[in-house]
Every structure is written in C-alpha cells, then in structure tokens.
Amino acid sequence: MADVSADISLSPDNELNVEWTDTLLTNIKDDLPKVCKFEGQLPQGLKLYSQQPVLLYRWYHKRKGEVRTIYRDTTGPYYEVGQTLQIPEDFEGWFELVPPDFGRVKYYESIEEISKTMPMKFFTRTNLTGICLGNSGESEQTYVQRKIPAGTVLKVESTFKAKWRTCAETGVLKKKQKEWTSREIQYLKCIDNKEQEILIPFTAKGKFHPVYQNGSSDSKSVFRMKDILTDLTLPVKVRIIYGKPPVVPCIFTGMLVIKRRITEDVFVGSTITFKRHALFELPAYNDVKIFMAKSEEQFVDMKTYKDAKQLCQKYSDSYSSLIKLSPTLDTDHQMIQHIPTEKTKQRHESLKTLDLITNISLTDDEPRSQFMESSSDDTVSEQSLTLGTLVELEEFSNRTSMMC
C-alpha cells in the first residue's frame, strides 16, 4: 500500500502531522477501532466527516428499510414529503399497518378480549397492574402488586380463576364483629421480559395489540421492522406507535411508506476534531478511499480522542439501530400523493411533524423509547388492586390447549 502524509488542523493553536497508509474498509473491519480518514465520491451527508481524522469504531451488517414520511394538514391530501429515512431491521420500535382508509388500527380494549384469542404475545399501550405470587413459608400463598408500564410486551401463558376472601368489621363500638366475604376473579397469566409470571385481571381495560407472528392475519397486530422487511410486500404504509425518534432533525410525522429494503455493511464512527463530537455511519462504498493512521500514539492522550472513544463505547450499538437520514440527503423527490382506497368512519387526523429527536451525548442517559403522540393514543392510569387473602387458585385454560 502507498503511504501518504497530511497535516490535519485540529485548531489554530494545535496541529498534528499524521502519517497515513491507504487500505480497504474490508481490511480493517475485524481490527477496529482505528483512527482513519476517508475521501472519494461521497454522498452529501458524509462529506462533512471526510478528509479529517475520525475514529472508526465498529462494523455492522445491516438490513434496512428506506422510507419517506407521509404528511397531511387538516384538510388536504396525503403526500410523501422530506428526505429518505433509513430504519434498520433491529430498530426497537413497534409499527401498525395503515388500513386502506388511512385510519387507526383497531385494538383489544380489555384483557378479557385478549383471553378469548390467546395470542402468543401482546403489546400494551396502557399502564397495567397485575399480581406476582409467592409463598410465605407456610401453606398460605402471598402476592405482591406489580405495575406494568405501557410499551411492554407480554407473553401469554394461560388463564386462571382465583378465590379471594376479605374481612370487614361490622356493627358499632363494642359490638363490632368480623364479616367474611368471598369473590372469584379471573386472570390472564403472562410472562414479562424478565421471565417473571404476572396475573392480570380480565377486568383491566386499555389498548392492547397482538404481536405479529409469521402467518398471522390479525389486523390488530403490531410489527417489528424485521417482520415488515422479512414477511411483507413492499411498498407498504405503516405508522410508528412506539420507539425512539430519529437521531437528527427531519420531517417526521410517524406515518411512513416503506419503499424498499437494502442490505449493506456499515461502520459506526465518531469525529475527533469537532468541538462537539458527532457519531456517523459510513457504508462500505466501493469508491471510498480509506487511509489509516500509521501510529495512533499522538491521539491516545488527546481529550477529544478519549471522548470520541467513550461516546462510541456507550452508543455505537444503539446508534446503529436508530432511524437516520439517508446519507444521500436527497431533496429532489417528486410530490407523490397517497389516496385512501376505502371511506372511513373516523375523522381524518392531520399528520403534523412530531417535535421529537433522539439526543446522544456523553452527559445523557441511554435514549428511551416513547409513544409517538397523537390525539387517539393516550394511556389509561393503572388501578390499585384490593384483594384480601388468596384462598384458591386454579388454571382453567392454557394457550396450548386452545390452539389444538
């Protein structure tokens, strides 16, 4: 490989003389992190990071959906707007398919409704309260209440009925006496992501969606991006209901048309010389020229290098799974109109740009998923359960038997 040298200016008072050797991206993907620079026929979104020292930290093989936002004001038609976005298949969010009338997907309104279909898993858009059972060391069974936040996915196991006994004092003054009453409550037994068993009463109300499984035809289902790219025919219109917002400012309403799927090798890295560090994603383009620093000795004690490495250690995996602008920064799209193919009984909502962005900083916590707000996507507060003493607990159906 040929050697080249370049003076890279970090600031007017601090210059580094870096000796570079040219290489190929495929040669360094298993030997990261590395201080490199890159140049060549680059799309507009990557030129900002080229021809300067950067830290290439980790390599990923990614399948992505290329999407555009659908926008609508209160009275107008639906249009594709903005630049192309990319959503990786491992994006940690949930989508619903946009119905032919462009309304909102229906959902189950109670746990009892879930118990009648017994999906393998369901997603809750509502805060819930359940109970976790334990033993007191004697014959009596104990329980603790457990709050289940909206955004949780629960695995469905079986249904139970429990007999509870409560005691109340009746009468006045010295003539008070205890009066015992019994009642039966039905529950759906679920497993959370910590493999903990939770019983949720049939009477719990809210918004619940079955999680899509291959071969499922339930129109109430929610999807992962991986399922959409694997099992559905593109293009397809979706609405994101829960997840992390895009990592950069862009036109984003939450309603999207997924145009195509792409598969590519990408490198996540960080700037070193910027006053504020920026993570970026470099696809392994054939015409990108890569130059690797022969020695990183002059970088290792630099605060900017240490901060860049810490930023990558903290966020490279989560950053690679976030919604991002396509590096082409395409702005030459034609205005494409989308027309509902069925009339709706629902009032058409305007699709306004959501003022949401995922911020990545060394001083911030890991970005969290959130609901993409709309007028019809509210959660219901969970209620405290007053139960008494558990006298009897009996399973009366399970998912396996119902599927037979």
Return the pLDDT at 335.
80
CA quadruple 259, 265, 268, 269: dihedral sign: negative
Return the pLDDT at 366.
78
Return the pLDDT at 333.
76
- In angstroms, the Cα distances linking 230 to 10, 65, 256, 266 are 45, 11, 17, 20
pTM above 0.85, yes or no: yes
pLDDT in tens, 18-55: 899 999 888 898 899 999 999 998 998 999 999 999 99
pLDDT in tens, 85-125: 999 999 999 999 999 988 889 999 999 999 999 999 999 99
Q: Which of 7-16, 177-186, 367-376 bottoms out in mean pLDDT, i.e. has the lowest?
A: 7-16
Return the pLDDT at 13.
32
Mean pLDDT, to the nearest integer, of 374-387? 55
Burial of 345 (0-12, 13-18, 19+ CB in 10 A): exposed
Return the pLDDT at 5.
36
The HSE-up count of residue 354 (CA atoms within 13 Å, CB side) is 26
Does the pLDDT at position 393 exceed 60? yes
Mean pLDDT, to the nearest integer, of 179-198? 88
When pLDDT is cut at 50, 70 and 90, the band that residue 360 belongs to is confident
Mean pLDDT, to the nearest integer, of 377-394? 64
Return the pLDDT at 314.
94
pLDDT in tens, 322-346: 999 999 888 777 788 888 887 766 6
When pLDDT is cut at 50, 70 and 90, the band that residue 240 belongs to is very high
Average pLDDT of the residues of the chain: 85
Q: How far apart are the first and last CA of the chain?
A: 65
Q: Which of 137-141, 219-223, 388-392 bottoms out in mean pLDDT, i.e. has the lowest?
A: 137-141
